[in-house]
Amino acid sequence: MEGAVRPPVGERVISLRGLHLAFGSNKVLQGFDLDLYRGENVMVLGKSGSGKSVLIKCIVRLLVPDAGTIEVLGQDVLSLDQDQLDRLRVKIGFLFQSSALYDSMTVQENLEFPLRRHWIANTRQQTDTLVDEVLTAVGLAHTRDMYPSELSGGMRRRIGLARTLILKPEIVLYDEPTTGLDPITGKEIVELILQLQRVYNTSSIIISHDLNVAKLAANRIALLHEGVNHIEGTYQQFLASDDPVVKRFFIFM
């Protein structure tokens, strides 16, 4: 398997500066900075409860930080009105920590859901074409009429990914895409993430604890520790790092 493609240097698609967010006395983000460039996969590593999910929820303004700035595709996310925010969110795919499929809907209906919500693809034929395309992309064309309960965990994860892709996002935020899967299925998801980066030229932030993600999918790794971006580097740089926090992670990965 090829590793992560080298992204073209240049355009910044996400820029986070000085993010602070506390829940009462629980100071989660304490001045977090991160940049994401077009075509690049950045992995965010951090121990459980360090604020990784909080961080990516801030990017799509599901949570509003107490201080700091968030720029996505050139727009100042925190000052957008609701319409502008909705339009921006169409360009950002969000793969939640659980795949969050609707159990009462078939795979096809689950995939159509974001199209309907955003008034995209109005005719039956347009919808079917898009559903076909993403189902084929994740290798599950035969599951169209199945219900989530009839799928394995790995398949549900893929359908979750297909649902994220159907809007053709420029940016994808992955919250632990391989957690809870066996190593082989996890690796298949990593391959899929790489394939999507290549085919759709998506830029991604991937939250993960998975060594395969670090090794194969991440162009760069950022370590969230005590509310800040403690250190950044490639997988090789992390492996060779003397930083005690980095070392602790790589021993357990």
Ligand X SMILES: Nc1ncnc2c1ncn2[C@@H]1O[C@H](COP(=O)(O)OP(=O)(O)OP(=O)(O)O)[C@@H](O)[C@H]1O
Which residues contact ligand X by CB under 6 A?
23, 26, 28, 46, 48-54
167 binds, among ligand X, Mg ion, none (CB under 5 to 8 A by kind): none
Please state the closest distance from residue 54 (CB atom) to Mg ion, in A.
8
Distance in angstroms (rounded) separating the CA atoms of residues 196 and 229:
26
Q: CB nearer to Mg ion: give 40 or 175.
A: 175
Q: CB nearer to ligand X: give 50 or 219.
A: 50
Please state the closest distance from residue 110 (CB atom) to Mg ion, in A.
22
51 binds, among ligand X, Mg ion, none (CB under 5 to 8 A by kind): ligand X
Distance in angstroms (rounded) separating the CA atoms of residues 94 and 108:
19
Q: How many residues bind Mg ion (CB under 5 A)?
A: 1
Helix or strand holding residue 225 (H, E): strand 220-225
225 binds, among Mg ion, ligand X, none (CB under 5 to 8 A by kind): none
The structure tokens listed for 236 are 């090789």
Q: DSSP secondary structure string, 173-204?
A: EEESTTTTS-HHHHHHHHHHHHHHHHHH--EE
- Nearest-5° Cα angle at 13, 180 to 239: 50
According to CB under 5 A, which one of 53, 99, 219, 229 is a site residue for Mg ion? Answer: 53
Residue numbers of the site for Mg ion (CB under 5 A)?
Answer: 53
